[in-house]
Structure 1
Amino acid sequence: MIDVKLANTWDVAQVGPVTVRCHFAFADVCHAGLKQGGHLRALNAVQLAAKQTYELGPEAAVDIVTWVHSGSLTAQMNGFDAQTLAPQGLHLASTGSGCSRIIWQSGTERAAFYQIWLLADVAGTMPEQETRPAQLALEDGGFRILASGFPEDDPEEGAEIEDGAPVTLCARARVLHAILPEGEGAAYCTTPQRMLLLLVVEGVVTLGQIMLHAGDTATLREQTDLTVIAQSTATVLLIDVAEL
């Protein structure tokens, strides 16, 4: 089963002064048709004007993955040093037993980013923060794991991170990324009782007979295999989570 959500059908939530486009129910948006998908609690698209601040908290038992699309973004998680991200940089706020405040602030230009909220499968952990810069040299046209709660995805866990190893999630989930040249594709296979959500960040892709444009998503249930083909140069994110 594949559910498609077009870019112009995402709902809108107000978080302080910031307008957030949300795929599922979030903040003041609680429509019955916007229930979360499995262990994927939220998928939000956020744009900040220059030097604008987006603040959340308190939060607990959720991993918040922030992936920067454009501009620069500084993330400040309570109790940790501020981290500045360039385009395609990634920040993980693993809230664990509780985090009172998380702030994201844009740089001197407008910033756009996506946030993926994943329900933790491991309880009572201490809050943690991790970041990764863009790793364009590692892009080979296939899906690359950015964040994972599966130990086998990081066989060198504990070593100094120089190889683009994924950030470590408390959720048994994966967040993946692919840059696809026109006419080329990427494939991914998961296990049963999982849900896959494909987000097109840039370009046009096909998923079987379905055509998706920038900002569109496709959610796959009861399906373990996915192959996406770029109709123009495209950037996509893929989320693999357990069904509830």
Structure 2
Amino acid sequence: MIDIRPFATLGHANHGWLNARHHFSFANYHDPQRMNWGPIRVWNDDEIAAQSGFPPHPHRDMEIITYVRKGAITHEDSMGNKGRTGAGDVQVMSAGRGVMHAEYNLEDEQTTLFQIWIETAKPGVEPGWGQMPFPKDERDGAFQVLASGDPDDGALTFHADGEVLGATLKAGNSLTYESKPGRYLYLVPSAPIRINGKDAQGRDGIAIKDEGQLTIEALDEDVELVLVDAA
């Protein structure tokens, strides 16, 4: 199953400083057909104006992954953590039994990012936060694990059975990915691709299940791919 969800059909909220597209029901956007995809609960495509951001607010029992596409985001939380995550890099916050955090764009340019929430497998644990750089040349033509539930794979760690992966493809090139039965995959490309013979546009959402091998081809432009594979 490959369900392509065009960018134009996503939920939309423009707050001036924040222009957000919602792949799943979120805040004032509600679509009973798009509540989640397996344990993937939120995928927001956010554009955050320069010198603005999300003031302190609480979370609990959710794994929150931020993938910065352009610009940078600066994180602060009630655990005392503070850090800046730049384009192509990732931060993970395990909200655990409860945490307050803020996310600010302190840059002089717009920041664009994906914020992804995965339902936790370990409610009530100690909250945590981490970030890591991921040079894009190390994922040219193949998926690289950026964050996962495996504490030993060298990536950022969260408390769920899943992986967040990134890849880049040059125009005309392709890659393959093995999809295991029963898992829920969600893919967002930055530019047009063809996946197992189906065409998708940049920033479309692609929900995938029980497909076996995926063949992803970049069409007329270089493309950046972000994929969540979870159960």
How high is the TM-score relative to the length of structure 2?
Answer: 0.92
Partner of 1:213: 201
1:17-67 alpha-carbon deviations (Å, 9 max, x no partner)? 634210000112222232111100100011111101124632111111111
Partner of 2:217: 229
Counterparts of 1:5-84 in structure 2 under 5 Å?
A: 5-13=5-13, 18-55=18-55, 57-84=57-84
Worse-superposed segment, 100-109 or 177-186: 100-109
Match of 1:161 in 2: none
Q: Which residue of 2 aligns with 1:158?
A: none
For residues 56 and 8 of structure 1, the distance between their equivalents in structure 2, rounded to whole angstroms, comes to 30
2:124 matches 1:124: yes
Once the two structures are TM-superposed, the CA of residue 188 in structure 1 deviates from its matched residue by: 1.5
Offset, 1:224 = 3.4
| Counterpart position of 2:95 | 95
Deviation at 1:12, TM superposition (A): 1.7
- Between stretches 124-133 and 50-59, larger displacement belongs to 50-59
How far the C-alpha of 1:197 sits from its partner, in A, is: 0.9
Contact 1:14/1:27 (CA < 8 Å) preserved in 2?
Answer: no
User: Counterpart in 2 of 1:186?
Assistant: 175
Cα distance in structure 2, aligned partners of 1:41 and 1:133: 25
What CA distance in whole angstroms lies between the structure 1 residues aligned with 2:52 and 2:179? 38
Structure 2, unmatched stretches of 5+, are: none
Write the letter of the residue equivalent to 1:235. E
CA distance in 2, matches of 1:190, 1:208: 12
Q: CA deviation at 1:14?
A: 6.4
What's the counterpart of residue 185 of structure 2? 196
* Unmatched runs of 5 consecutive residues or more in structure 1: 155-164
- Tell me the alpha carbon deviations over residues 66-112 of structure 1, each in whole angstroms, 9 at most, x when there is no partner: 11111121111222321112211111111111113333334111111
Q: Tell me how far 1:151 sits from its aligned partner.
A: 4.2
Alpha-carbon distance between aligned partners in 2 of 1:109 and 1:151, rounded to the nearest angstrom: 34
Q: Using the alignment, how far apart are the partners of 1:175 and 1:200 within structure 2? A: 14
**Structure 1 residues 173 and 223 mapped into 2: Cα distance closer, same or farther (>3 Å)?**
same
Q: Spell out, residue by residue over 1:179-199, the C-alpha distance to the aligned partner (whole angstroms, 9 max, x if none).
A: 001222122223221011110
Q: Which moved more, 1:68-77 or 1:8-17?
A: 8-17
SS at match of 1:58: strand
Q: Find 2:163's aligned residue among 161, 174, 179.
A: 174
**What RMSD, in angstroms, separates the aligned Cα atoms of the two structures?**
1.9
Supply the AA of the counterpart residue of 2:60. Answer: A
The DSSP-based 3-state class of the residue aligned with 2:58 is coil
Letter aligned with residue 18 of structure 2: V
- Tell me which moved more, 214-223 or 101-110: 101-110
Residue type of the alignment partner of 2:116: I
Identity value in percent:
26
2:31 & 2:10 partners in 1: Cα distance? 12
Normalized per residue, the structure richer in strand is 2
Deviation digits for residues 150-173 of structure 1 (CA, Å, limit 9, x no counterpart): 346x1xxxxxxxxxx310011111
